[in-house]
């Protein structure tokens, strides 16, 4: 065998070329068959496969040590985002409860409540 090696910087170029070739092949196939674009499910599965392929290639290009460090950083960022979303959710929940208590739990009569009238 000739022992062809692929450097890490070449991987994104090769993946992009593969995606472009696959897309061109699918477009040609759809034109020949005369049908429209594939269904939502097929597109979602295809996108998921591309994401998995990209992640696998990315981790392989990084190597196990760098991938481990990157996953630790990603976990820390995810924890901070989850904490922020939890805080926002808690604030919106307490604001909605405070608003209900101040209005007495009933809505004011008007166009929003057509069953109630001002002539009462």
pLDDT in tens, the chain (120 residues): 567 787 777 777 888 888 888 888 877 877 777 766 667 787 788 788 888 887 777 777 777 788 778 888 888 888 999 998 888 888 887 777 777 777 765 555 555 555 554 454
pLDDT value for 61:
74
Tell me the pTM.
0.35
pLDDT value for 105:
56
pLDDT value for 104:
65
pLDDT value for 11:
78
The pair of three-digit structure tokens given for residue 57, joined into one six-digit string: 């290639």
Q: Are 70 and 31 in contact (CB under 8 A)?
A: no
User: Which distant-in-sequence residues (6+ apart) come within 8 Å of 59 by Cβ?
Assistant: 67
The pair of three-digit structure tokens given for residue 60, joined into one six-digit string: 């392989």
pLDDT value for 120:
44
The pair of three-digit structure tokens given for residue 73, joined into one six-digit string: 């950083």
Q: Which among 102, 8, 108 has a CA at the least distance from the CA of 118?
A: 108
Q: Which residue has the tokens 């910087």?
A: 9
Q: Are 59 and 67 in contact (CB under 8 A)?
A: yes
């Amino acid at each position: 065998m000739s022992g062809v090696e692929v450097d890490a910087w070449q991987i994104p170029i090769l993946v992009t070329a593969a995606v472009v070739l696959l897309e061109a092949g699918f477009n040609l196939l759809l034109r020949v068959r005369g049908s429209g674009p594939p269904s939502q499910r097929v597109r979602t599965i295809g996108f998921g496969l591309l994401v998995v392929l990209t992640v696998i290639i990315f981790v392989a290009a990084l190597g196990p040590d760098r991938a481990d460090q990157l996953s630790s950083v990603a976990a820390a960022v995810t924890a901070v985002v989850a904490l922020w979303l939890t805080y926002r959710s808690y604030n919106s929940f307490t604001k909605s409860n405070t608003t209900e208590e101040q209005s007495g739990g009933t809505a004011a009569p008007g166009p929003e409540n057509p069953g109630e009238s001002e002539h009462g």
